[in-house]
């Protein structure tokens, strides 16, 4: 979308001045150096529609915003919008703001905000009447304001249906143009197309496979190792851990070169079996554990990831 069209759609996003003021407050709320933002529009505002603190190098500065939703035209010598803006800017600079503590804060800067583009003659006319105070007044209008929204508050532009719809329409119109499509075809050795790109069917190559898994493998409980346990039961416990890890690896959406969970669990199972064998070699058999040839040990499970063999 061209800059003039984007700017035109941007100005249409604010049906009235109240909507503009609220949008500016939401914008300032997303700017890192702005804080204590408050709407001051109404009786007794004295030119200060919005007030906020701007973080400075040595101190925070009190900034007053003059919001104008209509195009500012003319010069300060006429009765058009420029004279009204000058009056509000002077009023904001000449009068302070009474804070919640009852003291009056001086306004350090004034920012004139308008979604419409202003002529340089209009801005120069206002600056000429401000004299030495012109350094304390800044204009953020037209494309400059649009860029701030694009940088700090892009969702506002997306949520404005007219703006977003126009943007999508501009993309669609660009794709319908024969020039870029023909150039792409010719660059790959194909002839130019004689029909609109929207009427050309392209077999989609993107797909997403969604799998469901059903298993009878349960989650092994470490409490089984707290009672007398045979070597066969330890091996069975380890096999269940590996089976569960294999299932989780298969269900993982990550495309890993190797089954990470299975590899880790196999190492853990080997350590667990080794602990059982070490305990058995240091301890006299404790008697049969079910079959005549089975010998059992009892493990106490600590909070850490190792096992300590204790005599039953």
Higher-pLDDT residue of 152 and 47 is 152
The count of other CB atoms within 10 Å of the CB of residue 103 is 9
> Which residue, 167, 182, 213, sits at the end of a domain?
167
Domain hosting residue 54, numbered range: 3-167
Question: How much of the chain exceeds pLDDT 90, in percent?
Answer: 27
- Per-residue pLDDT at 307: 43
Q: Mark which of 133, 167, 201 sits at the end of a domain.
A: 167
Q: 146 and 243, same structural domain?
A: no
Residue 306 belongs to some domain of the structure: yes
Considering the domain architecture, whether residues 147 and 15 belong to the same structural domain is answered as: yes
Q: Is the pLDDT of residue 309 over 80?
A: no
Give the domain-ending residue among 167, 185, 214.
Answer: 167
Whether residues 40 and 110 share a domain: the answer is yes
Task: Please write the tens of the pLDDT for every residue from 27-50.
Answer: 999 999 999 999 888 777 788 899
Please, which contacts does 5-8 make with residues 24 or more away whose CB atoms are closer than 8 Å?
5/166, 5/170, 6/146, 6/167, 7/115, 7/117, 7/142, 7/143, 7/146
Q: Residue 312: pLDDT band by 50, 70, 90 thresholds?
A: very low
**CATH classification of the domain holding 61:** 3.40.1350
Within 10 angstroms of residue 202's Cβ, the number of other Cβ atoms is: 6
Selected residue with higher pLDDT from 87 and 279: 87
Residue 227: pLDDT over 60? yes
Tell me the C-alpha to C-alpha distance, in Å, between residue 26 and each of 34, 132, 138, 152, 274: 11, 32, 20, 10, 63
> Is residue 151 domain-shared with residue 235, that is, in the same domain?
no
Residue 264 domain-assigned (yes or no)? yes
pLDDT at residue number 242 = 84
On whether both 30 and 121 belong to a single domain, the answer is yes
Q: Is the pLDDT of residue 139 over 90?
A: yes
Q: What is the mean pLDDT of residues 3-12?
A: 79
pLDDT tens-digit series, residues 65-85: 999 998 888 777 665 688 889
pLDDT tens digits, 184-202: 666 665 555 555 656 666 6
Number of independent structural domains in the chain = 2
Looking at the fold, whether 19 and 89 belong to one and the same domain comes out as yes
Does residue 109 fall inside a structural domain?
A: yes
14 and 154, same structural domain?
Answer: yes
**Is the predicted pLDDT of residue 143 greater than 70, yes or no?**
yes
């Amino acid at each position: 979308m061209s800059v003039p069209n984007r700017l035109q759609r941007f100005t249409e996003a604010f049906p009235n001045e109240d909507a503009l003021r609220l949008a500016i407050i939401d914008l300032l709320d997303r700017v890192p150096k702005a804080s204590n933002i408050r709407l001051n529009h109404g009786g007794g505002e004295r030119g200060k529609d919005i007030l906020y603190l701007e973080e400075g190098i040595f101190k925070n500065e009190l900034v007053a915003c003059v919001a104008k939703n209509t195009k500012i035209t003319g010069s300060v010598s006429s009765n058009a919008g420029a004279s009204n803006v000058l009056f509000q800017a002077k009023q904001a600079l000449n009068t302070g703001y009474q804070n919640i503590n009852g003291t009056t804060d001086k306004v350090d800067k004034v920012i004139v905000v308008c979604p419409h583009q202003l002529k340089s003659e209009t801005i120069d006319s206002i600056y000429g009447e401000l004299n030495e105070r012109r350094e304390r007044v800044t204009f953020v209008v037209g494309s400059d304001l649009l860029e701030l929204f694009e940088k700090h508050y892009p969702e506002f532009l997306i949520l404005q249906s007219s703006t977003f719809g126009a943007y999508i329409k501009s993309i669609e119109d660009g794709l319908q143009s024969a020039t870029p499509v023909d150039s792409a075809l010719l660059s790959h050795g194909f002839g130019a197309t004689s029909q609109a790109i929207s009427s050309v069917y392209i077999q989609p190559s993107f797909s997403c496979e969604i799998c469901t898994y059903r298993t009878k493998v349960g989650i092994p409980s470490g409490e089984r190792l707290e009672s007398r346990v045979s070597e066969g039961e330890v091996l069975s416990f380890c096999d269940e851990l590996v089976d569960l890890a294999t299932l989780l690896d298969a269900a993982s959406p990550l495309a890993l070169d190797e089954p990470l969970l299975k590899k880790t669990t196999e190492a853990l199972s080997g350590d667990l079996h080794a602990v059982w064998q070490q305990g058995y070699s240091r301890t006299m058999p404790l008697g049969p554990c079910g079959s005549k040839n089975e010998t059992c040990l009892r493990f106490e499970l600590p909070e850490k990831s190792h096992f300590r063999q204790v005599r039953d």
